[in-house]
Structure 1
Amino acid sequence: MIAGVQVKKLVRHCDDRGFFMEILREDDEIFSRFGQASMSKSYPGVIKAFHYHEHQDDLWFFPVGNAQVVLYDLREDSPTRGETNVFYLGEDNPVLLLIPRMVAHGYRVLGNEPAIIIYFTTAAYNRSHPDEKRIPWNDPTIGFDWTTKYR
């Protein structure tokens, strides 16, 4: 796994009324600092990739739908520089994923339904100086093949 990436498996407490699930707590080892909480909806087949941050970490959670999440380590001094990780997150796999700064990240919505992502950042979005760097979804350096592999 890319150095610094962390996965927190989320636990559903189910009963005859439905379920309850904690996503993030201030005392979680995966959590360092609150900056902002945001939500986004993406339609089936959409690819949102790639971007990275120089100063903040992201924590991603998909409560609705399912997504293929791709990470690529850009850090010069990282023992996992140039490595790619792929995660499948969403309703079928409730996980909170910590994405460290300088790790490029993106996702593709899987299935026939939209996906909703709730994400937390360790710094609030600064409109005058955004910490948001973009890399094309099909960047040859990353070289990720987003097509579904029918096996």
Structure 2
Amino acid sequence: MKRIEGVLTKMLVKHCDDRGFFMEILREDDVLFGQSGHFGQASISLSYPGVIKAFHYHKLQDDIWFFPNGSAQVVLHDLREHSPSYGETNVFYMGEGAPYLLFIPRGVAHGYRVLGAQPATIVYFTNLAYDPKQPDEYRLAYDDPEIGFDWNTKFR
């Protein structure tokens, strides 16, 4: 599988002691912000087990995703016609057991499915604030035939 051009990941480091832990998520001098330009908005959402939230993309907005709780299967599909990875699909497994950030460039469709028996929380950062008068959100069905992703878990 070819990695989608412009998609970045950043492993996060937990600093643990007998009181709990501390973990930086994102800083203004982070290389991920260098990709997106500047900070626009931070949001949080919780989804229940088995829920699929897919697909959507943006023409102007870049996203940075983080799942602090639960577990999710994240699917990206490159819709950018002039990208060297046009038409590629990438899958990432994110959550408590895999604490990292995922930078999703504009023009890359994205969505996720909650795995396991617990809800998943997503915290995401964007380079633009949401404008309800001109929303930069374009939707595709979770089972869009051009993407052709099978969300069913396979058992071997």
TM-score between both structures, scaled by the size of structure 1: 0.99
Show the counterpart of 2:5: 3
Residue 122 of structure 2 corresponds to residue 117 of structure 1: yes
Show the counterpart of 2:42: 37
Following TM superposition, by how much is the alpha carbon of 1:85 offset from its aligned partner in structure 2, in angstroms?
A: 0.3
Q: How does 1:2-151 map to 2 (within 5 A)?
A: 2-31=4-33, 32-151=37-156
Amino acid at match of 2:20: G
Following TM superposition, by how much is the alpha carbon of 1:149 offset from its aligned partner in structure 2, in angstroms?
A: 1.2
Following TM superposition, by how much is the alpha carbon of 1:150 offset from its aligned partner in structure 2, in angstroms?
A: 1.2
For structure 2, the 5+ residue unaligned runs are: none
SS at match of 1:7: strand
Following TM superposition, by how much is the alpha carbon of 1:136 offset from its aligned partner in structure 2, in angstroms?
A: 0.1
State the distance in 2 between where 1:17 and 1:71 align.
37
TM-score between both structures, scaled by the size of structure 2: 0.96
State the distance in 1 between where 2:136 and 2:59 align.
6
State the distance in 2 between where 1:58 and 1:126 align.
15
State the distance in 1 between where 2:150 and 2:110 align.
14
SS at match of 1:30: helix
Amino acid at match of 1:28: D
State the distance in 2 between where 1:140 and 1:95 align.
30
Q: Once the two structures are aligned, what percentage of the paired residues are identical?
A: 70
- The aligned length equals 151
Amino acid at match of 1:4: G
Following TM superposition, by how much is the alpha carbon of 1:76 offset from its aligned partner in structure 2, in angstroms?
A: 0.8
Amino acid at match of 1:80: S
For structure 1, the 5+ residue unaligned runs are: none
